[in-house]
Structures are given as C-alpha cells and as structure tokens.
Amino acid sequence: MTAGAMLRALREGMGLTIRDVETATARIAEKYGNQEFCLQLSRISDIETKGVVPSIYRIYALAVVYRRDVRELLGWYGINVDNFIADTTLLEAPKSHRVEGLAAAESARMPVKMDPGFHPAKTANISRMVEKWGSVPMTFLRQLEESDFTYFYIGTEDLTMYPLLMPGSFVQVDEQQNKITGGPWASEYERPIYFVETRAGFRCSWCEIDGERLILQPHPLSPQKTSIYKHPQEAEVVGRVVAVAMRLAEWKPVASVPRAKAIREQN
C-alpha cells in the first residue's frame, strides 16, 4: 500500500470522514496560529489518492488526528528515523561538539544471542560470534542510561589528542568526574582525558590545574599548541572521557611539526 492508501485506511478504520479530518486539523491550526496545519477536503483527497506528500506541519496534524506516532508516518514516506545514527557518519563536522541525537531512533539493532564459544577475555571477530541480531526498543535501552554520561564528537579538524584519539571519534563523558586529577601515570593510556568547554567551543585534551590557570596539553605527536585559560572564567571542565568509538583506517598520519610554546588563547 502507498502512504496515502495507509492514511485512508487509518481514517476509515477510525470511522472518520474527510470533513472530520478537515475540522480536526483546523482546530490544531487555530491552536498554534498557523494555517499550515490545516488540511482542506481537496488536499486530504489528493494525499490519499494522488500521491501528494504532506508538509511537516500536516504530517504532525495527521499523526495527532489518527493517534499515531509521527515517526511511523514519516516511515511511510521513506524517512526511517532509526537510521539517524548511521546517517550522521555521512557528514564529518570539523569542530568537536556535543551529540544530542542519540535518542532519535525508536529502536536499535544489537546482538541478542551470542555464540556459546564467545569469551570476553579473548580477542575475536564479533560479527562471527553473534548468532542472532534483533531490534531493541530505545525506551528499554534508556532504562539502562547513566544520566551522568553525555556524548561528544571530536571534529575532523581537532587534532589535540591525535593519534591517541582520532578526529571523527565519538566519546562518552562522565560529568561527575570534572575535577582534574594529578599523576603519576604508568602510561599515556592511564592519564585522564577531559572535555572542556571554552568560549570558542569544546576541547578534548589532557589537563592540568596551576592555581587559577587551566592548562590544556595536547598529545606530544599532535601539531596542536598548548592552551592556557583562566579557570573557571574562560573554561570549564565538562567531565572525563570514559569510553571512545573511533575509526582507524580512514586517517593518514599527521606530519610532525615543531611544538610551539604555550600561548594564551584570546576568547
């Protein structure tokens, strides 16, 4: 069935006439002071029988009238909101930023049955270990959500922690861990990495506190300069990076450049 035919089936299944739908959408338009929500008789007929695609306002109005999730109606017109996360990889943003759209999908595909031979202590090909994939409602997954965690994206031009954290990576940040801790550390992997919000945007870096100064230290192999801010007037620590998802094969090594002396960024 076409989207229009399914909308007609919904209307008839609820015992509504085209006139009823027109009246209901007119009330929605009046409530919001926007006639774009209103569907006239001829427009409803065109949508149901001639393949006319309703506007975003009318999609919402129809979803309200027919008591259906607006995402379901969008799916009938070829917009699958569950693809949101996968589609974000089609555009690589140059600046690091907070990721707010992880909850946009209604469900997520994830392993629901693993091979009995799978052992978490051993390195393995995960795709071969999954016996069955299934769709899990996001409402279920949100019950497991840690409210203290937020998600950030490291911009394609942000080389501060390169090559430890590749540009284009997604990171999970624990906002409860927003106090800078000192070393020593056995390796660079043990040293905490923090997300910091400055007036110019977000930065992902190693950090040190020196009195009222917050020092952002890039990886030694990074071409990024050391930055110094007044704390907390010019920069605040959002939290500590506790998990990361990144690609490796798509990035080329950055040519080594002489490290500049620490500078004070003007914000």
Same domain, 68 and 157: no
- How far lies 249's CA from each of 85, 189, 252, in Å? 20, 20, 8
Same domain, 138 and 245: no
Same domain, 89 and 13: no
The overall pTM is greater than 0.75:
no
Residues 5, 48: contact at Cβ < 8 Å? Answer: yes
Residues 152, 170: contact at Cβ < 8 Å? Answer: yes
Domain hosting 216: range is 149-264
Same domain, 126 and 203: no
Same domain, 26 and 116: no
Same domain, 7 and 68: yes
The per-residue pLDDT string of the chain (267 residues; one tens digit each, 9 = 90 and over) reads 899 999 999 999 999 999 999 999 999 999 999 999 999 999 999 999 999 999 999 999 999 999 999 989 999 999 988 787 778 778 878 887 777 665 555 565 666 666 777 665 554 455 666 776 665 555 555 554 545 678 888 888 888 999 899 888 888 889 899 999 888 899 999 999 999 998 888 889 999 999 999 999 999 999 999 999 999 899 999 999 999 988 776 655 555 444 443 444 444
